[in-house]
Structure 1
Amino acid sequence: MSAIPFRCVLLVAILSVLGGTADAQPARVQAERSASPAARQAPGLDRHAPEAGSADSLRTVSLREALRFFRENNLSLRRAQSAARALEGEARQVKAYPNPTLQATHEPHWRGDTHQSETYLNLSQKLEWSGRQARIASAEKTAAAARARASADSARLALQVTEAYVEAATAETRRRRLEQVTRVFRQADSSMAERRNEGDASGYAVRRIQLERARYEQRLAAARLDARSARRQLALLILPDEAPPVAAEPLPGATPPSISRGEAVRTALRARPELRRWQSAVAAQEAARRAARQEAWPDPSITAGYKRQSDGFEGAFLGIGLPLPFFDRNRGAAEAESARLRAAQTQQALARREIRNEVRRARAAYASTRRQSQLLEGDLLRGSGDLLRIAQTSYDEGEMSLVELLDAADAYRDARIRSVNLRADLWTRYFSLLRAMGQPIDLP
C-alpha cells in the first residue's frame, strides 16, 4: 500500500473530529443534563461523594440552580443579611416607650424618745415628645438602607458566582475540544508507527506526529487542571463546606439580546439597590437632624405617688420634672447630623454618576464583544473551514506537505478555541451588564 492513501485516511480522521466538534457537543450536553437531576437534591448535593475520575461523570448544575444554591449557602451573603436584620431589630427597639420607675422609700426620724417616720411610694414616667417620631423615622430609614446594601452585596456576589459558572462551563468546553483533537493525534501516532514498520512512512513524518501529539497532550493536561480548579471554585461559592466539585452546563449557543444604552441607563437608575440604599440613607440623616434639633427641648418626667406619715397623715402626690436647657442645647449634635446629611447627599449624587458610567462601560463592552462574536462565528469561522478544505485538496494533489496540513489543522483548532473564549467573554459581559442595570442575573 502506498503512503498517499494512508495520508488521506489520516486527513479524513482529523477533519472528521475537528469538523464534528459542533455536532458532538449537543450529544455531550444531553448526556450531562441527564445526569443533572442527581445534583438537584438538597443544596449540599452529596457532601461525602468522592470526586469522579472522569469529568463526564460529574454532577452538573444549571445557572439558575447555582444561583439558588448560592442564596442558600454563601457565607458572605448570610453575613450581609444578618447585619441588615440587626438594624431592623434596632429600629423596632426605638419604637419602644421607656419603662416607668417604681420607687418605695421609708424615712424614720428620732428626737430623744420621740420616733416618727414617713413612707413614700413613687411611680415616675419619662414622656418622650421632643424627637421621638424623628428618631423612629431615622432608625427605619437606616434599616431600609441596610436592606438595600444587603441587596447590593447579594447582586455583587451573584455576579461573582455567575463569572465562576461561565469559567467552569468554558473550561469544560475547552477540555472536550482538546480531548477530541488529542485522540486524533494519539491514533495518528499509533498508525504512523505501524506504517513506518511497513515502510510506508518516513522517520521524519513519524517524529513530527509524535511532537504534535506531545504538544496536544500538554495542552490537554493543562485544560483538565483548569477544569478541576473551576469546578472547585464554583462549589466553594455555592455549596457548603466539604461539598464535592460540580460541573457547569455548557453555555447556550444563541447570542444574548441587544440592549440599548438609553434603556440600560434608565433601568439602572430605577432598579439599582445602591441608589435605594443612599436614598434611604439621606432620609435617615434628615430624620436624625430633625431629632437632634428637637432634642434641644428636653423630655419631661411625671411622678405620682402615695405618702404616709407615722402621725396618721397620708395622701397622694403628683409632680413634674423638666430639665432646663440653659447650658446644653444639643447644638453640636445638630451640626454633626447636618454635616452627615450633606455627606450622604453628596454620596447619593456620586452613586448616580458612578452608576451611569458603570452602565455605559458595561454596555459598550457587551456591544463590542457581541459584534466580535457575530463576526467570528460568521465569516471568520466559515473561513477556517474553507482553509481545511483547501488544505485537503492540496494535500491530495501532492501540493501540500504533512507539516502544512498539520499547521492547517492547528489553525482550525485555534479558531475553535478562540470562538469558545469569545463566547465566554460575551456571556460574562452580558451578565455584567445585567448586574450594572440592577436586573436579576439569568439566561435570556
Structure 2
Amino acid sequence: MSSNRWPLRAALASATCGVLYGAAQAQTAPPLESLLRDASAPRLSVGEAETHAAEGRAHQARAWPNPVLDLQVENVGGDGPYRDFQSAETTLSLGQTLELGGKRGARVAAALAELDTARSRASQNRVTFARDLFVAYATAEAAGERLVLAKDGVELAQADARAARLLVDNGKEAELRVLQAQAAVSAAQAEQSRAEAEADAALARLSALIGGEQTYAAVTPGVLDRAWTVSAATAQPPAVAVAQAEQIATARKLDLERRRAAPDVTISFGIRRLAGDDATAAVAGVSLPLPLFDRNRGAVKAAQAEADAARARLLIAQADATADRRGAEGEARAAERSAAAAREGEAAAREAYRLAKLGYEAGKLPLLELLSTRRDLVAARQRHIETRLARAKACADLAQANGQIAFGGAQ
C-alpha cells in the first residue's frame, strides 16, 4: 500500500465516520452551533425553570395584603328580649393590614435580587453547557479520526505482512519475519476494535448530553481544525456573577428580616345595625400586635450569617476566576504549540515510513526497521489527534473562564 494515501486519509478522516460505522443512511450530527441553538437538554431546562419560578416569586412579592371582610351578629339566641333578632346588633366591617417599616419595598427588592441570581445561574449553566458540548463534539470527532487511523494501521500492517511473505518466498527473509508481521496485524486489529468501541461511546455521550433521543453515527467534521478565537474577557466570569448576585440577594434578605421586627397595623371600618333601636352607626378600629415575645431576632441572626457567607463566597469566586483564567490562557498557548509540533512530527514520521518501506522492498533494511517506523507513524498520527483535541478543550476552558460561549454563540 502506497504511503501517499496518508495525507488524503488525514483530510477525510472525520468526513468518513458514518461509513466506518457501517450505516450508509445513518444521521450525522448537526454542526456544533446548531446543536446549541436547538438543544433541549435537561441542563438548560433546569435553569429556565428556576428563572421562571423566581419571576413568579418577584411578581408575588409586589402583592398587597388582602383586606378582611368581617360580619358579626350579637345579642341573638339568648333569653328574654334577646330570644330572637329583635335586639340583634349586626356589624359589617372591612379591615386592612398596613405593612409598616418598609416591609413591602424590602420584600420586593429581595425577590428581584433572587431573580437576578436565578438569571445569573442560568447564564452560567448555558456557558458551562456550551463548553461541555464543545468538548463532547470534539471528542467524538477525535474518536472518529482514531478509528480511521486504526483501520489504516490494519491495512498497513497487512501490506507489510504481504511484503514480508514475498521476501520469504524469494528466500530473502527468514520465516520468522512473517510471524512477526502477522503479530503486528493482530495487534492492529485489536486496536481497531478498541477504537470502534471508543467512537461509539463518544457519540453516545454526545447524544446524552443534548438530551435527545436521536443517536448519531458521525459528527460534522472540522471542529478540531477550526481556528477558534477567544476574545478578551469583557464581562465577569459566570461564577463571579453568580456569587455577586447571591451576595446582593442575602443583603436584601437581611434588610427584609430586620424590617419584619416592626409590627403591622390593621385598621377597620364598618357599619353596625342596632335592631332594638332601629338605628345604624359607624364603627372603626385599629389593632397593633405587641412585639413582646417574637422580635424576629433569630431570623435576623440567620440572615446576617448567610450574608457573611455570601461575601466570603464572592471573594473565593473572584480569586478562583482569576486563577482559572490565567491557567486557561497558559494551557491554550501550550496546546497550540503542542499541536503545531505534533503536526510537524507526523509529517516527519510519514516520510520516514516511506523511506523505510522503499528500503525494505529493495532489501536494504530489515523488517524490524519497517515495523518500527510504521509504529512511529501511527504514534505520531495519534499524538497529532490528541494534541488537536487538547487544543480544542483548552480553547473551551478559556472561553468558559471568560464567561463566553465556547464557539462564539450568543449567551
Go from structure 1 to structure 2 and tell me whether the alpha carbon gap of 1:399 and 1:192 turns closer, same or farther (over 3 Å shift): closer
TM-score normalised by structure 1 residue count: 0.81
**More helix by proportion, 1 or 2?**
1
Distance in 2 separating the partners of 1:191 and 1:290: 84
Aligned equivalents of 1:83 and 1:52: distance in 2?
42
Q: Report the AA paired with residue 102 of structure 1.
A: L
| Kept in 1: contact 2:94–2:270 (CA 8 A) | yes
One-letter identity of the residue aligned with 1:358: D
Q: Does the 8 Å CA contact 1:60/1:246 hold for their aligned counterparts?
A: yes
**The one of 76, 86, 90 aligned to 2:57:** 90
Contact 1:235 1:246 in 2 (8 A): no
Task: Indicate conservation of the 8 Å contact 1:258/1:367, yes or no.
Answer: no
Q: 1:234–1:246: 8 Å Cα contact kept in structure 2?
A: no
Alignment match, 2:9: 24
Q: How many angstroms does 1:252 deviate by? A: 3.9
AA at the equivalent of 2:3: L
Q: Deviations over 1:46-69 (max 9, x none)?
A: xxxxx9951665322222233234
Question: Shift of the alpha carbon at 1:299?
Answer: 1.4
Once the two structures are TM-superposed, the CA of residue 113 in structure 1 deviates from its matched residue by 4.9
User: Does 426-435 or 60-69 show the bigger shift?
Assistant: 60-69
- For 2:9 and 2:351, locate their aligned partners in 1 and report how far apart those are by CA, in whole Å: 20
- Match of residue 135, structure 1, among 107, 131, 139: 107
Aligned 8 A contact 1:376 1:419 in 2: yes
Aligned to 2:333: 367
Q: Is the 8 A contact 1:60 1:247 kept in 2?
A: yes
Distance 1:347 1:223, change over 3 A: same
**Residue equivalent to 1:81:** 48
Taking the aligned partners of 1:198 and 1:275, their CA distance within structure 2 comes to: 73
In structure 2, the residue matched to 1:119 is 90
Which position in structure 1 is the counterpart of 2:116?
144
Detail structure 1 runs of 4+ shifted over 4 Å in the superposition: 27-32, 187-202, 254-259
Shift of the alpha carbon at 1:30?
Answer: 5.4
Q: Which amino acid aligns with 1:79?
A: V
Cα drift, residue 315 of structure 1: 1.8
Q: CA deviation at 1:158?
A: 2.8
Deviations 1:319-343 (CA, angstroms, capped at 9, x unpaired): 2222233443333333332222222
Matching residue of 2:22: 54
The answer to whether the aligner puts 1:440 opposite 2:394 as a matched pair is: no
The one-character-per-residue Cα deviations of 1:270-308 (angstroms, maximum 9, x if unpaired) are: 232222222222222222222222223211111111110
Q: 1:246 to 1:92 in 2, by over 3 A?
A: farther
Cross-structure match for 2:220:
249
Percent identity at matched positions?
Answer: 25
Q: What are structure 2's unaligned runs of at least 5 residues?
A: none
TM superposition shift of 1:435: 0.9
Q: Cα distance, 1:257 vs. partner?
A: 4.5
Q: Match of 2:301?
A: 335
Q: How many residues align?
A: 401
For residues 156-195 of structure 1, the aligned pairs below 5 Å read: 156-189=128-161
Secondary structure of 1:15's counterpart equals coil
Q: Distance in 2 between matches of 1:63 and 1:290?
A: 46
Cα distance change of structure 1 residues 233 and 56 upon mapping to structure 2, 3 Å threshold:
farther
Q: Distance in 1 between matches of 2:74 and 2:49?
A: 51
How far residue 143 of structure 1 moved from its aligned partner, in angstroms, is: 1.7
The alpha-carbon distance between structure 1 residues 443 and 422, as it changes in their structure 2 partners (threshold 3 A), is farther
Instruction: Give the aligned partner of residue 209 of structure 2.
Output: 237
Residue deviations 1:349-397, cap 9 Å, x none? 111111111111222222112122222223x334324423542464366
TM-score (norm 2): 0.87
Secondary structure in structure 2 of the residue aligned to 1:220: helix
Quick one: distance in 2 between partners of 1:188 and 1:57?
34
Amino acid paired to 1:15? S
Structure 1 residue runs of 5 or longer lacking an equivalent are 1-12, 36-50
Aligned residue in 2 for 1:204: 176
For 1:88 and 1:258, how far apart are their aligned partners in 2? 33
In structure 2, the residue matched to 1:41 is: none
Query: What CA distance in whole angstroms lies between the structure 1 residues aligned with 2:81 and 2:117?
Result: 70
The answer for the alignment partner of 2:32 in structure 1 is: 63
Distance of aligned partners of 1:332 and 1:387 in 2 relative to their CA distance in 1, 3 Å threshold: same
The one of 240, 249, 255 aligned to 1:275: 240
Aligned equivalent of 1:345: 311
Q: Which amino acid aligns with 2:98?
A: L
- Residue correspondence of structure 1 range 370-389 to structure 2 within 5 A: 370-378=336-344, 380-389=345-354
Contact in 1 for aligned 2:100/2:262 (Cα 8 Å): no
In structure 2, the partner of 1:418 is 383
Aligned residue identity for 1:101: V
Distance 1:443 1:409 in 2: 39
Q: What is the Cα deviation at residue 192 of structure 1?
A: 5.7
Q: Once superposed, what is the RMSD of the aligned Cα atoms?
A: 2.8
Confirm or deny: 8 A CA contact 2:23 2:217 kept in the other structure.
no
